[in-house]
Chain A
Amino acid sequence: MAESRLAVRKTYKLYIGGAFPRSESGRSYLVAGPEGHPLANAALASRKDLREAVVAARKAQRGWAAATAYLRGQVLYRVAEMLEGRHAQFVDALVAGEGLTGAEASSAVDGSVDRLVWYAGWSDKFAQVAGSSNPVAGPYFNFSIPEPTGVVGVLAPQASSLLGLVSVVAPVIATGNAAVVVASEAHPVPALELAEVLATSDLPGGVVNVVSGRTAELAPVLAAHRDVDALDLAGAAEGTEAELEAAAADNVKRVLRSRRPGPDWSAEPSPARMLFFTEIKTVWHPVGV
């Protein structure tokens, strides 16, 4: 009779600047399954962790934006490949965490992989669709191109912890932004697992940073942060949006409001999220001999 083997449980940490630190606060919280049974401990990020994540994102953003669109597309495609390779693991995480059936979880993981592939393909087409050359009355070649807004704070959807997450993060980074993501509070595990996928997908450290913890504690910090350029409120608690939006006005952040009820993440998206987190730059280039 084979000896019973003791399972090696996983420790979940934050994902900041390409590394996996614990919270500087030393705090963690218990993540429970749908029936309330304990699943894992997740780091309970502090305000300071979040600020560190913003610093890491700012540091990484310029290089990521300067990478060719082709390269960004390949990196996103690589993320899709790595996610596909860990399909079973994510299905397990969704079944255990959100209480989905195996088929539902499998379809959420399929959808997430497909979404990444969709955005991977956008990276070198978006500027063609979102930009223009403008027939101005004068001797100028006048063109408009989308550029990344910069550092985007993302409150990941609370309910759809993988497909929702991928649906909000992929459009942010496809165009060259860096993201600071606050994972679903109740279901942080898929986000923290996805961080491991990102870390092994040639995505430069700091382009996506993932913190777990209390959304109510972290969201106001992100909203008020002067070095965050835009905010996605997808996962904001109902009733907190007005306060977060008001705080975001301190540096005229671009704020994508949350919708109630939340969007159907399984529906095919439009380029609207990419448009929202980009700025249009217009250049007047002289023409002459």
Chain B
Amino acid sequence: MAPRFVYAPAPESRAVVNLRPSYGLFIDGEFVEPIDGGQFKTENPSSQEVLAEVSSAGLADVDRAVRAARRAHEEVWGPMPGRERSKYIFRVARILQERSRELAVLESLDNGKPIKESRDVDVPLAAAHFFYYAGWADKLAYAGLGPGPKPLGVAGQVIPWNFPLLMAAWKLAPALATGNTCVLKPAETTPLSALLLAEILQQADLPAGVVNIITGAGDTGAALVAHPGLDKVTFTGSTEVGKQIQRRLAGTGRRLTLELGGKAANIVFEDAPLSQAVEGIVNGIFFNQGQVCCAGSRLLVQEPIAESVVEALKRRLETLRLGDPLDKNTDIGAINSSTQLDKIRALAASGEAEGAQRWSPSCTLPERGYWFPPTLFTGVVPAQRIAREEIFGPVLSVLTFRTPDEAVEKANNTTYGLSAGIWTEKGSRILHMAARLRAGVVWANTFNRFDPSSPFGGYRESGFGREGGRHGLEAYLEGSLDG
């Protein structure tokens, strides 16, 4: 076994975050009490401590938010020249950078993810996203998406709990740059960073109603996506809910973008740079506790190196540090909610029941909070649930292959198609494989890497439409096929 190092605790101070005891809904530029909604509590999943009370938007609140967005679109944001919109969005990006530490700590508190991830990935990428799209606002005519590009109007945006601030940025930045106004619904278990973002939007003097943020559970989201006052709906979340939304919007003529689940293959060839690949596999599945739609949850290893890769992985997993998300040395944080933990447990149990071999490193789980150890399944066959269903947790299924063709076949043997990984030293093989994998994002000798200039989105049941890059603008612009 690898030597264990003892690390002194290195907690990030949470004093930088000033939480209010309760939050209203952010509608028309102000925090307001719900009309027909209620209140709910949001907790720290690593300690089950209640962080704040948050409002739940009811039907009348949703309606009020959509109306505010409509008015802002017609009177302010729609007519505003692109260069002025641009400066507002740049301003938001800058404030996000200035308040990055506060945002990172808050994100880790509410979500349970390690501070090193919220600090180094979520928050900087969110700022970068606003910065990238800010520059598009006055250059849309050059985006190659038709002459005289026009905004759609009001967008209803529903986002998940795994990257709360980053997903808000992915939705808001391109929508604002293209001249749309927004009603954003953060996830029930992670509303706080979006509410801090609302304060940042106030600080940036963004005109009232351009962005409205309504918190709540699934009911609020369902009420939002069904609201007839919207021109556009975007959703990031499970494939199951995505299909419901697609059905709900059938016949309405409203535009839709879906970014749904995945079951990504991470394919390791025998010539792969092994230590780099092991790091990449770990990052691919244990980043954000595996609660990532594009997680590399199916490891496909070429047979000759399968044994040594699994051994190396086990050695590496023994060194991962699980615990306090605010500790700067923590690699694995808490699972976001008890609901999610139950789901992960059930699927992991099905793996054992269906005959796969389960392994986890020897780590002690904290007594309070929602925790699941990094878990590896070997002896996995494609028919098992753990090889087919999205677990959305720190559970890796290891399968093997002999030839590149077999790897392609196994990788594509899924109804999803969000992402895939390839590990090899051979550039020509990377491009050969990349062309054959039915996935929207293909990482070679890396995994789970994101950039605002790089389009992201799925094939097949992983959804449609792209976020990021020039392509991300298309989701928010009127096209020649719109009737």
Contacts and interface: CB of A to CB of B under 8 A. Distances in A.
Interface residues of A, number: 43
B17 to A, nearest CB: 27
Interface in A217-275: 229, 241-246, 248-252, 254, 256-260, 269-270, 272-273, 275
Interface stretch (A72-80, A84-92, A208-216, A281-289): A281-289
Contacts of B483: 257-260
Interface in B234-250: 239, 242-244, 246-247, 249-250
Nearest to A245: B250
Given A144-B469, A252-B260, A272-B146, A282 B454 contact: yes
Nearest to A146: B471
Nearest to B450: A136
Contacts of B114: none
Contact of B454 (A142, A256, A260): A142
Interface string A2-14: 0000000000000
A134 B454 contact: yes
A137 B444 contact: no
Contact of B251 (A135, A140, A245, A281): A245
Interface string B464-482: 1010011100100001110
Among A248, A270, A272, A281, max chain B CB count under 10 A is at A281
B464 A254 contact: yes
A245 B251 CA distance: 7
- Which of A242, A250, A254, A279 is the most central at the interface, judged by chain B CB atoms within 10 Å of its CB? A279
A144 B454 contact: yes
B441 interface: yes
A284 B423 CA distance: 12
B442 A252 contact: no
A272 to B, nearest CB: 5
B439 interface: yes
A252 B460 contact: yes
Nearest to B146: A270
B246 A252 contact: yes
B243 A284 contact: no
Nearest to A241: B251
Given A129-B144, A136-B453, A272-B146, A280 B479 contact: no
Interface stretch (B308-316, B354-362, B426-434): B426-434
Most buried by B among A135, A229, A243, A286: A286
A256 B469 CA distance: 23
B456 to A, nearest CB: 7
Nearest to A262: B483
Contacts of A107: none
A242 B244 CA distance: 13
B449 interface: yes
A132 interface: yes
A270 B480 contact: yes
B39 interface: no
B238 to A, nearest CB: 12
B258 interface: yes
**Chain B interface residue count: which class?**
35 or more
Contacts of B239: 252
Nearest to A226: B415
A285 B111 CA distance: 31
B451 A246 contact: no
Given A252-B246, A276-B481, A286 B466 contact: no
Contact of A242 (B251, B440, B463, B464): B251
Contact of A284 (B244, B250, B443, B462): B443
B442 A251 contact: no
A26 interface: no
Interface string B256-286: 0010100000000000000000000000000
Contacts of A137: 128, 451
Contact of A251 (B258, B439, B454, B460): B460
Contacts of B427: 285
A282 B461 contact: no
Given A144-B471, A284-B444, A251 B415 contact: yes
Looking at A136, A137, A252, A279, the one whose CB has the most chain B CB atoms below 10 A away is A252
B243 A257 contact: no
A138 interface: yes
A134 B444 CA distance: 15
Interface in A46-72: none
A135 B464 contact: no
A241 B483 CA distance: 14
A252 B243 contact: yes
B455 A280 contact: yes
A232 B457 CA distance: 21
Contacts of A132: 455, 469-471
B446 interface: yes
Contacts of A254: 464
Contact of A246 (B144, B247, B258, B415): B247
A254 B243 CA distance: 12
A246 B453 contact: no
Nearest to B430: A285
Nearest to B258: A252
A237 to B, nearest CB: 13
A124 to B, nearest CB: 16
B227 to A, nearest CB: 17
Contacts of B434: 281, 283, 285
Contacts of B469: 132, 134, 144, 282
Contacts of B439: 281
Contacts of A275: 474, 479
Nearest to A139: B446
A88 to B, nearest CB: 33
A252 B464 contact: yes
Contacts of A279: 440, 459, 464
Contacts of A257: 253, 483
A229 B469 CA distance: 24
B471 A138 contact: no
A247 B448 CA distance: 33
B178 interface: no
A259 B480 CA distance: 11
A3 B250 CA distance: 61
B453 A282 contact: no
Q: Which 4 A-B pairs have the closest CB atoms?
A: A242-B251, A245-B250, A259-B483, A249-B246
14 contacts: A132-B470, A134-B469, A135-B453, A137-B128, A144-B455, A245-B251, A252-B258, A272-B481, A280-B455, A281-B459, A282-B440, A283-B444, A285-B430, A285-B444
